[in-house]
Amino acid sequence: MNKFFIIPRNLVFGNEAKYLISEGNALPLAGKDIGFLKFEIQCSNKTLNNIPILYSVKKQESWNTKYLNKHDINEFLKIYSYKPKTFLGLKNKKVHIMGILNLTPDSFYQNSINTSNNTKAIKKAIAMYEDGASIIDVGGESTRPGAIKVSLEEEQRRIIPVIKELSKHNIPISCDTRNSSTMQAAIDAGATIINDISALNDKNAAKIISKNNVGLIIMHMQGVPNNMQKKPLYKNVSFDIVKYLEEKKIYAIKKGIKEKNILIDPGIGFGKNDQHNLKMLRDLALLHSLKSHILIGASRKSIIGRITKTKPSERLPGSISLAIASVVKGVKFLRVHDVKETKQALTIWNQI
């Protein structure tokens, strides 16, 4: 990637987007249902201005910048028009909810813990699916800040029976794991997606995912859960995350994983302070340059708590706010604890 990069701004939606794109007043963002009227240029080492300079996509005469020439700007802008292929048969036009099923005793959100009884966990998963989740994400290892890694045997003991039972209900299942042996066991049990916070750090992970032709979620994380929040540092967090995800995606494809089977996740709260998280959320449209659908998992996270001084049990409004703010930037996949409430918010947003 170049030293300078472009971020779409001033987004428009639906019929308005289609009209403005057809008139040449906007450019498409990941298809024609979203358009952008302006863009910002940033540097890989820093933000160029406290108050960003916005350039109109229509007025190319305003593109005389010291950062990029018109040809380079046009090449950047073309990338954003790419419409990602359908992920595992899930419709592109819809925003898809991934319901979180925690099978860990040490989750940061105690209300989401489902370790006491597999039958209750399965009922909860089915209820989330009926409430509007497209995918159920099953995890047996906590990855909250400071979490200690559990043994493979314990992780699999927690999740495999539940995945086996859920697969009988034809519910799309994602397994939240960074361990290749757990990935294979979960796939054998019926999981069709691997949600890997380590982005294929296990040397056998890519081979297993490719061989089984399942979906992959590649997430950005600086460090590991046990130390990731100890002074995270970036030159330009948005650029650094995109570069990391780009490299990981290239690696995945080289290992035989199909591009259409990949989602990307900037990893809100994973090796980032609040300012890093907020900047990445503001710059989310940048991720469309990677030509993949985007997943955001910000549900009930500590950034909401620090900003609003609330406990995890009190962070539903903030979670929904972050979900809608992500959808506004073209995000199609949301990983959440509260499926019914998020679904209702999305229904209203879509009507607007």
Catalytic member of 158, 164, 300, 335? 335
Q: Supply the pLDDT for residue 261.
A: 97
Query: Average pLDDT, whole number, for the chain?
Result: 92
pLDDT range class, residue 224, cuts 50, 70, 90: confident
Q: Which residues contact 129 (CB under 8 A, 6 or more apart)?
A: 99, 136, 169, 171
**9 in active site:** no
Return the structure tokens found at 195.
């949600």
Examine the pLDDT at 113 and tell me if it is beyond 60. Answer: no
Cα separation, 242 vs 265, whole angstroms: 10
Note the pTM of the prediction, 2 decimals. 0.93
pLDDT score at 98: 98
The answer to whether residue 259 scores a pLDDT higher than 90 is yes
Q: What is the DSSP letter of 92?
A: T
Give SS3 for 344: helix
Task: Outline which parts of the chain fall under CATH 3.20.20.20.
Answer: 96-351
Q: Would you say the C-alpha torsion 220, 225, 227, 229 has a positive or negative sign?
A: positive
Q: 96-351 domain in CATH 3.20.20.20?
A: yes
Q: CB under 8 Å to 332, separation ≥6 — which residues? A: 87, 92, 94, 95, 96, 293, 294
Would you call 151 exposed, middle or buried from its count of C-beta atoms within 10 A (0-12, 13-18, 19+)?
exposed
In this model, does residue 115 exceed pLDDT 80?
A: no
Count of CB atoms situated within 10 Å of the CB of 92: 15
35-63 confidence digits (pLDDT tens): 999 999 999 987 777 778 899 999 998 89
- Cβ contact 181:140 at 8 Å: no
Q: Which residues contact 213 (CB under 8 A, 6 or more apart)?
A: 258, 261
Q: What's the pLDDT band for 2 if we cut at 50, 70, 90?
A: low
Decide if 306 is catalytic.
no
Q: 57-89 pLDDT, tens per residue?
A: 999 988 988 889 999 999 999 999 999 999 999
Residue 225 has pLDDT above 80, yes or no: no
Tokens encoding 207: 């081979």
Given 38, 158, 301, 329, which residue is catalytic? Answer: 301
The whole-number average pLDDT for the span 8-17 is: 94
